[in-house]
Structure 1
Amino acid sequence: MPSAELTHTFRIAAPPAEVFAHLAEPSHYVGLSPLVVAVRDVRRTGRTVRYTAVERFRFLGVLPHDNLIDVTLVAAPEGLPDSAVVSGDVRSPARVRMSYRFALARDGAGSTVTDTLRLRTPPGLLRFAAAQARAVQRTRARVLTDRLAPPA
């Protein structure tokens, strides 16, 4: 399967423990990815959480389609309050596979977040999937920064 790795690093005003708590909760991914509109069937086993995310696409900009994806999330708090990792895997019905990793590190009073995605797709889908994933990464950084900004 063709593959690609995408990395985006950004700074956020919140400390690693606060960012970790946000990223470790499946319900917080609604809106964190502009495609995810719902999270359901959440099952927890220790640090591992499995759930179904509903991605909403529009074909040809008009026809809505809900894509149900299986997500595994692993929250590893080792190193808190100065660092932590949230990682996991995504399986889409279109055979698109993605592993993700958020590495959090203290940066002054805030954090540096390194968002790494590894995509594997059937032939012919990599360029499209990588473009979508890159857009989601950039949006996720903005939304997460806004959500965890200190009160004004």
Structure 2
Amino acid sequence: MPSTELKHSFEIAAPPEEVFAHLAEPSHYVGLSPLVVAVRDVRRDGGTVTYTAVERFRLLGVLRHDNLIDATLVAVPDGLPDSAEVFGEVRSPARVRMRYRFVIDRHGTGSAVTDTLRLRTPLGLLRFAASQARAVQQARARVLTDRLTRPA
């Protein structure tokens, strides 16, 4: 299967503990990824969380398609308060597979976040899937920054 890796780093004026807590909770991915409109069937087993995410696509601007994807999330707080990781895998019915990893490091009073996606797709889907994943990755940085740095 064709594959690619996408990496995006950004800084956020929130400490690693807050960024980690936000990324470790599946319900926070609603809106964090602009395509994810719901999270359901959350199951916890030790440090691993599995759930179903509902991605909503608009086809031709009008037709709505809800894509149910299986997701796994593992949150590793071992280095807190200075660093932590959240990683996992997403599997869609179209056989698109994505492994993701957020590395969160203390940077001054805030955090530096590196968001890495490893994408594998069936032949012919890589360019489309990578463009969607890149757009989500860029938006995720903006949304996360807005959520965690807005005034209380």
Question: For this structure pair, what is the TM-score category when the shorter chain's length is used for normalisation?
Answer: over 0.9
Q: How does 1:110-125 map to 2 (within 5 A)?
A: 110-125=110-125
Could you tell me which residue of structure 2 aligns to residue 59 of structure 1? 59
Could you tell me which residue of structure 1 aligns to residue 95 of structure 2? 95
Q: Tell me, what secondary structure is at the counterpart of 2:134?
A: helix
Q: How does 1:1-152 map to 2 (within 5 A)?
A: 1-151=1-151
Distance in 1 separating the partners of 2:52 and 2:12:
28
Distance in 2 separating the partners of 1:90 and 1:53:
9
Amino acid at match of 2:138: R
1:67-92 per-position Cα deviation (integer Å, ceiling 9, x unaligned): 00000000000100000000000000
Distance in 2 separating the partners of 1:43 and 1:150:
30
- The 8 Å contact of residues 42 and 50 in structure 1, kept in 2 or not, is answered as yes
1:59 Cα offset (Å): 1.2
Distance in 2 separating the partners of 1:114 and 1:61:
32
1:150 Cα offset (Å): 4.9
RMSD, aligned α-carbons: 0.8
Q: Which moved more, 1:23-32 or 1:54-63?
A: 54-63
1:64-120 per-position Cα deviation (integer Å, ceiling 9, x unaligned): 000000000000001000000000000000000000000000000000000000000
Structure 2 unaligned regions, length at least 5: none
Q: Tell me, what secondary structure is at the counterpart of 1:145?
A: helix
Q: Tell me, what secondary structure is at the counterpart of 1:148?
A: helix
Structure 1 unaligned regions, length at least 5: none
Q: Runs of 4 or more off by more than 3 Å in structure 1? A: none
Distance in 2 separating the partners of 1:102 and 1:47:
16
Q: Tell me, what secondary structure is at the counterpart of 1:139?
A: helix
Same amino acid, percent of matched pairs? 81
Distance in 2 separating the partners of 1:58 and 1:150:
30
